[in-house]
A and B are shown apart, each in its own frame.
Chain A
């Protein structure tokens, strides 16, 4: 006979929309009581459903990354490093993998939303957490702006293809239009995220699937072409026309193409069977995009040569498609480029909003920043704090600068993730029970940290200055606002 009922007590959470929590009470999101494959259960019994499977996770990773590496960078990279740009992409892939392995381990031990910020703040303390969290938010803002400028380039190239007279690629009229389109889409995406309940994740999966198929066909043809099966065999140009240094500076530039795997970690709290799916999605998405990137560079430089790619700039890959398949090929790749940059921009905007949520949960920024409105159920404040700066940055139209600053801010986090792994492993707290173990420990995280920080040295001075300025700003904010914050897990040594 069942009598009575369970009363599930509320956890320590905010009672109203903007009521500050009492200072002497636990605040923010509580640590979960239990994590299962399908849900996270919190103190008081409230559960958070996990609903992103392995394919969804891969699609987040690949969908975020592929827009940049294939549809924006080939022309810029070939211009800098010649055919050796494929080595630059390979270097990026190696570094991304060295970071993805430790990230996967930390994520399986702490499958919580917030990704890199969460691991670093729990492993190294609130100071590092604050700097990384704020840098991650702004890093994703820079990345989103970068994708939107790329999108603008594609839109303008598509208009030119359709016969709209807008002048040559580098004319002032065309670049103004690029920025105008980028800004308009940025506003549109932000507004849609604030109000929309439509399922863009499902659309994203389809988009990524379409892109995979299109690119596979394109690259297979290109590889056969380069091997001389169709037409005349291409005479390879010199592999490193600009010497060896540009390989590394180009690697620093194109590293933006590998930022997506850590986005998988930002939704770690929503991934089903995290012990299995998180490592597979992170490592798998890096492997998939790396193969596509290196092959794309090989095919593109074989087909057109670096000179022609450089002249075509951000939409170089369209010219490669035109070389192979004529106008229909160019139109299909233009369309694919629009889709890819749009999906990357959308994913990055959402990730940036997650990053803000993660730091506001720990009160590193005011909790109001991640307020959710009941009408749409969306974090409108966080989205505005992402969309606003994104739109301003799109206004600069500086593709390379935006990409490098985004990479800078991410690389700092990546290096610190590797350091965090070593720190936590050495401290070995009782709660640390990862399902996935980094192979080659401690070599992998040490080399990962060194190469992440090392890649920064090859960036343009201006990118480094802006990156450092953001970090100093974050430090200043921490000193001003968040110094008193103690995060529980950071001092649970033994």
Chain B
């Protein structure tokens, strides 16, 4: 890695026995990963109550997953959150830890191919660069996929796919690994679900203002629910960056890299009773 351009959030429901597929672990080895262990707490239970009981177990699971990422050569920071609303947590952590994309986890059997569905109206530059840096150290093939609405009678290559392909090649992906595929289908999301199953990872851009809104019942979450393939959702903020913003971002990532590694020294989550660390309780019962 010459420069740090991307950071990916991987939420894992640790206590539900959810793991991260080895293939996905290897694929994500080339980008820094925030491994977010979460446990969804029902409203009958105070989050602290669940934490009291499950923290050590959840932490063990999370550490084991982090070990797997490290064993594959990746860089990992971990977070453990007990939450009532996992999506809100994903969103908050993605913003706090400057993550560019978030993986909606699914048990991919093997990750030998990446599906990139692309619409005509999005800026493919950043999404293609991100995929490039993820795929650079792997052998995975990349399928650039575009769905034409039924009524359009068009032939020939689609501009957005050509553009994405050339960015990928610039990122060091061999042209022989890149396939362009165009389908005609009334519902693009249906078409994507149909082909997603034969790929190891689907990368989509976030189109709503937030990951959370986006995930609520629309393409990316539907995709994750209806297929067995993990979905990487690239945050909108990243998709829309211009060049100077991107440079700033690379700097930010480099600056926060230390914190990322040793987050106990930072991550000031607010004022509150930080200066009160010495009053942590020692209620000793008998």
Contacts and interface: CB of A to CB of B under 8 A. Distances in A.
Contacts of B261: 2-6
Given A5-B70, A46-B51, A23 B82 contact: no
Given A201-B43, A354-B46, A34 B268 contact: yes
Nearest to B76: A5
Contact of B282 (A26, A29, A383): A26
A377 B270 contact: no
A8 B56 contact: no
A486 B75 CA distance: 43
Interface in A30-82: 30-49, 51
B216 to A, nearest CB: 14
A7 interface: yes
B286 A48 contact: no
A112 B267 CA distance: 21
B56 A49 contact: no
A171 interface: no
Interface stretch (B106-114, B122-130, B195-203, B271-279): B271-279
Interface string B252-269: 000001001111100111
Contacts of A34: 268-274
Q: Which of under 10, 10 to 19, 20 to 34, or 35 or more describes the interface residues of B?
A: 35 or more
Given A197-B42, A377-B41, A46 B273 contact: no
Given A13-B55, A372-B54, A6 B264 contact: yes
Contacts of B281: 26, 28-31, 487-489
A255 interface: no
B82 A46 contact: yes
B226 interface: no
> Dominant SS at the B interface?
mixed
A126 B42 CA distance: 29
Interface string B52-93: 111110010001001001100001111111111100110010
A361 interface: yes
B152 interface: no
B132 interface: no
B98 interface: no
Contact of B83 (A15, A37, A49): A49
Contacts of B262: 6
Nearest to A356: B49
A3 B285 contact: no
Given A4-B75, A51-B84, A377-B50, A30 B280 contact: yes
Interface of A: 1-8, 10-11, 13-15, 17, 21, 23-49, 51, 112-113, 126, 193-194, 196-197, 199-201, 267, 269-270, 350, 353-354, 357, 361-363, 367, 370-372, 374, 376-379, 383, 430-431, 433, 482, 484-489, 492
Interface of B: 1, 4, 15, 32, 39-56, 59, 63, 66, 69-70, 75-85, 88-89, 92, 257, 260-264, 267-277, 279-286
Sort A-B residue pairs by CB-CB distance and give the 10 closest, nearest first. Answer: A36-B270, A35-B272, A363-B285, A49-B83, A488-B281, A48-B47, A36-B269, A2-B75, A5-B76, A34-B269
